[in-house]
Amino acid sequence: MKAYYEKDANLELIKGKKVAVIGYGSQGYGHSNNLKESGVDVAVGLRKGSSSWKKVEAAGIKPMEIAEAAKWADVIMILAPDEIQGDLYREEIAPNIKPDTYLAFAHGFNIHFNQIVPPADVNVIMIAPKGPGHLVRAEYEKGGGVPCLIAIHQDATGDSREVALSYAAAIGGARAGVLETSFQEETETDLFGEQVVLCGGLTQLIKYGYETLVEDGYSPEMAYFECLHEVKLIVDLLYEGGISNMRYSISNTAQYGDMTRGPRVITPEVKETMKQILYEIKSGEFARDWMLENKANRPNFNALTRLGEEHPIEEVGSKLRGMMSWLGKNKIVDKDKN
């Protein structure tokens, strides 16, 4: 994959357009604030009465109702949650979008699974930072950036790639590097990574490790430190230089245990389950399941969320994190601001 950098992007392209960021969650917060500081004419589209309205104003950005923002904008970046984007597009954006508008996404879910089907005279692009929106903001403020993916689904005006690169530069992505992919590849690999490794796989592994130690009589505090707290130490090493870098840094004892016991925990049967999950993603089964879950007011989602919040590791962790004063300083996630 070819990497693009600031020298390959014309920042003036996006600075010459009116950009509406729809939503002010993690990504909406990161994109809109970075765009503003890059000199882009940006507004945030919100539902009437949104609790984020005052947060947007406090950031020095103009809030608008979504329909108004869609009429005003040349570029509409939809950063609302995946599960509401389809209805939001049909009700608020589609009646107001102009020909030659750039309809942008940070995840390909709704385009790839046909929850949103834009008209042929609209550009459809993706600019997807490879990190949460709070990190996109934090790295930009440091003078850096989070690597981005771009993709082009429809190119009505013939310059969609250049506009996507310009947008990526304005949110800091071109400082780190921008790679081009497709909506299909980004969507399917993103869902797979979240489900089997980054979120689903990791959290389940942590909970099982914690439970195994506590059930055998070890203190919950020690189980928390060994199975959750120290994950960051290992992940930082992986993030910095890959698996071999991590193994170089840990003790020989730890590395031997890693290489000989790890495959006994994560067995070939686990890989077969991963393949099944990938099939469910590619076939659209997961997307249908998630859309139906939302139409039914999320009974399974809500029940599983509640069970997760009530797990003993959460209570123990809350107490132990209270001993770590440094965690409260320069927090990436601050719910009062973003």
| Residues classed as catalytic | 107
Q: How far apart (Å, rounded) are the C-alpha atoms in residues 108 and 125?
A: 9
Q: How far apart (Å, rounded) are the C-alpha atoms in residues 158 and 125?
A: 12
Please report, to the nearest 10 degrees, the dihedral formed by the alpha carbons of residues 312, 192, 84, 300 taken in order.
-40
* Cβ-based neighbour number of residue 193 at 10 Å: 13
Beta strands in the chain (DSSP E): 3-4, 18-22, 41-46, 62-65, 75-78, 102-105, 123-129, 148-154, 178-180
What one-character DSSP code corresponds to residue 97? P
Phi, psi (degrees; rounded to nearest 5) at 16: -90, 5
Q: Are 21 and 42 in contact (CB under 8 A)?
A: yes
Q: How far apart (Å, rounded) are the C-alpha atoms in residues 58 and 120?
A: 37
Return the half-sphere exposure (C-beta side, CA atoms, 13 A cut-off) of residue 204.
12
Q: Are 36 and 20 in contact (CB under 8 A)?
A: no
* Residue 13 CB partners (closer than 8 Å, separation 6+): 159, 162, 163, 166
